Amino acid sequence: MPLRLVSPRGLTSPRLRRAARDSPRLFRSFTSPARASVQPNGRYATAVGIAGAVALGVITAAYSPYSQTHCDAPSSLAIDKRDAIHKHESGITPSSPMRLKMESYIKEKQKEIVAALEKVDGKPFIIDTWERKSSGGGGISCVLQEGNVFEKAGVNISVVYGKLPRAAIVKMRADHKNLDPAVESLDFFAAGLSMVLHPKNPMAPTVHLNYRYFETMAEDGSTQAWWFGGGTDLTPSYLFDEDAIHFHKTIKEACEKHDKRYYPTFKKWCDEYFCVKHRGESRGIGGIFFDDLDDKDPEQLFGFVQDCLNAFLPSYIPIIQKRKNMPFTPGEKAWQQLRRGRYVEFNLVHDRGTAFGLNTPGARVESILMSLPLTAGWKYMHSPAPGSREERLLEVLRKPVDWV
């Protein structure tokens, strides 16, 4: 049965016309016992068939920007290229791989969050789209600096493909026993939305959020190990108990839709993780934090992550609206700078995400360090006045509180 070229436009694709012109015998001579089809468009052509797949692989290697080397079939393309073809041909459906569903979801949430924050601040974010050409993927960094409300705000997404070296695989086996420690490398995928907001007003708290999905893949693109991670936490310079209660209550409600154990477990984990160990104090008043979460069906956990991310705007917007225009003194602004110094110390010394990002080949340093404030301060042997609001904050940071 001759190879059939199936396209609503026939051979109107310039790429296929060039292929037919330059390699006419390929188009005339293959036969295959299976039906083969070519789905052409402005960016790529794919072949499905037996003999046809081999020959069309040569053509797509020559004429497709998705092909970096000559290949014998689409399955020989790098996984990020195959995922790009899937998204273009089929879109995102319930049967799509989890990695593509997570990517689609965080892109939509980034737009929603940025729009809400622009409404609060009155100034637009700078949108910086970047590609990770070394091994696939990229991201969108949305950054606002020196705004009306936010001194610095960043809402970033990253979608990264790459290979884990053997040393990383061995380390990850502590939590994921199905990883094969004998292989030299494994394909991996990581996608996440990260956000840090540093308001100008010292009465308004800094907030951090990150939700992510990670998986390793076999050569055919099928998922091997997978897990979700993330969380959110609030870092005030001046503590308002009602803000802390509201923030924690909103997160707790999102957690309890899925598992009553999640909030107390992840709240404790957050208090322990966001600890500036060399200072003996927490970075802020906590929230939730979790990692390597694979204790349920992936669709269930995807729903959990969605509910947590959906809870962000209700948890924070009411707080920033109340605090953004409050009066403050130069001394209170100076205290905010000292607290930001602690924030910088944690992120650069203790944060695993920052360390992982900076040590990933081809890392985009500007996006990784987006979390740092525009300004911060340090004073030698500074100690707040006894009985002051600053001293009370330190007491809470040294002994975390159960807010709800």
Q: Which amino acid is at 168?
A: A
81, two tokens: 């290229």
Which residues are part of the catalytic machinery? 208
| CA 241 to centroid of chain Cα atoms | 30
Kindly give the pairing relationship between strand 275-276 and strand 47-48.
unpaired
| CA 273 to centroid of chain Cα atoms | 19
Say which residues have a Cβ less than 8 Å from residue 232's Cβ, sequence separation at least 6: 207, 208, 209, 210, 251, 287, 288, 308, 312, 315
Assess contact for 215 and 191: CB atoms under 8 A.
Answer: no
**Dihedral angle over CA of 358, 363, 369, 371, nearest 10:** -100
From the list 119, 281, 113, 327, the residue with the least C-alpha distance to 207 is 113
Classify residue 260 as exposed, middle or buried by CB count within 10 Å of its CB (0-12, 13-18, 19+).
exposed
What Cα–Cα distance (Å) separates residue 316 from each residue in 156, 171, 218, 246? 18, 36, 40, 9
Burial 346-360 (b: 16+ CB within 10 A, else e): bbeebbebbeebeeb
DSSP 87-106: HHHH-S-TTS-HHHHHHHHH
Q: How far apart are CA 348 and CA 263, in angstroms?
A: 27
Half-sphere exposure of 145 (CA within 13 A, CB side): 10
Assess contact for 226 and 213: CB atoms under 8 A.
Answer: yes
Q: How far apart are CA 252 and CA 232, in angstroms?
A: 12
Assess contact for 344 and 370: CB atoms under 8 A.
Answer: no
